[in-house]
Structure 1
């Protein structure tokens, strides 16, 4: 028998594919099955006596679902309507509960995908904000956070902040479902004092001036005492 086909190899691959947060019971059941250990009472474990092959198949399906989600996130605006619809239809949130929020976001974004085209064609909307919103809605949270932070950091002028604020308000009114997905971020942009590097740069300059004059005054006081 090939090593890659050994029960041990199959067991290890399956265990590595298990999410301990959501599938702790499945991990224990798989271990019992592999080691041929007796099962506990179902009333205690709540786990059906599935075969190892069935459990491995479930884990493979979960892995496939994660791959599909990742593909949809990265290619969301490049896929045809049919490809996007087919990809989303293949996902069952009940089978991958840890991905359920992400799948829901993608479904809402898919229903609003044409809205991004409409906003980009409307010169009243801040183009950069619309593009950032599109990325933020579909990308993984780590990448989306970077997109949001970068956009805020680029608000270096009063006009850019004003345009972002007005666009955020327009999105809230015209596209409430999209707004709801990024409510915290878009609401932040509606703050007239929200700013990027300009604000932090001004604060740094102020701190520098305070430090400079403070040091100068301390130096003058020291000279007076030394002269005495």
Structure 2
């Protein structure tokens, strides 16, 4: 048995429920190992069942490969290549990838919107690039992109520009905004976005120290008066 045939066999067996599909598991084993079939009357039915299962597995594997390829090359593919890849995906066959497929479909329809925003000086270029990555990448990678962008908002001007761009996206590109609503809404709150810069941190610490000392002095003064 070749290595590819063995891998296909193992993957197919893992998708079989041994409680309800024990007959299919035995038939797959007999077919793969070319063993004699002791239930000739069921041969045709079981063979068709196994063939359907193997074909289904192959379609699911192909869909996962296509999604991974689109996520990695989304902005480098031609319009024809992107459309072909998107069209080949059937969310009903891979329900676990359905949300990702829907995001890619929306992003594909709006791909030219990213170009328009990058050409518009009123938009924060870094935010547009981060948004493009966040929309198409796997969730683990997208989360890193979002967090890194927020952490880079270290000045009042950068937070304001991100806020203004988020509002513009919400107004002009509602479909894209809907894909990243939580993140883009967070950017609209300039106080909640980005780490505190050094100057702000120093001023905050000074105020805490000053008022803390003042309160302590007043408490001590009251006890001395008594």
**3-state DSSP class of the match of 2:196?**
helix
Structure 1 unaligned spans of 5+: 19-25, 38-47, 215-228
8 Å contact from structure 1 (residues 161, 189) kept in 2:
yes
Q: Which runs of at least 4 in structure 1 moved beyond 6 Å after TM superposition?
A: 207-211
1:141 is matched with 139
Q: 1:154 to 1:54 in 2, by over 3 A?
A: same
Shift of 1:15: 3.7
Alignment pair present for 1:73 and 2:71: yes
2:123 is matched with 125
Alignment pair present for 1:32 and 2:30: no
2:158 and 2:130 map into 1 onto residues whose CA distance is: 14
Shift of 1:36: 4.9
**3-state DSSP class of the match of 1:188?**
helix
1:131 and 1:85 map into 2 onto residues whose CA distance is: 21
**3-state DSSP class of the match of 2:56?**
helix
Q: 1:9 to 1:124 in 2, by over 3 A?
A: closer
2:161 and 2:60 map into 1 onto residues whose CA distance is: 43
- Written as runs of structure 1 = structure 2, the 5 A alignment for 1:1-228 is 2=1, 4=3, 10-16=8-14, 18=15, 26-28=16-18, 31-36=22-27, 50-198=48-196
Shift of 1:152: 0.3
**3-state DSSP class of the match of 2:134?**
helix
Shift of 1:204: 8.9
1:30 and 1:66 map into 2 onto residues whose CA distance is: 25
Larger Rg: 2
**3-state DSSP class of the match of 1:120?**
helix
Structure 2 unaligned spans of 5+: 29-44, 213-226
Q: 1:105 to 1:3 in 2, by over 3 A?
A: closer
8 Å contact from structure 2 (residues 27, 50) kept in 1:
no
State the TM-score, normalizing by the size of structure 2. 0.75
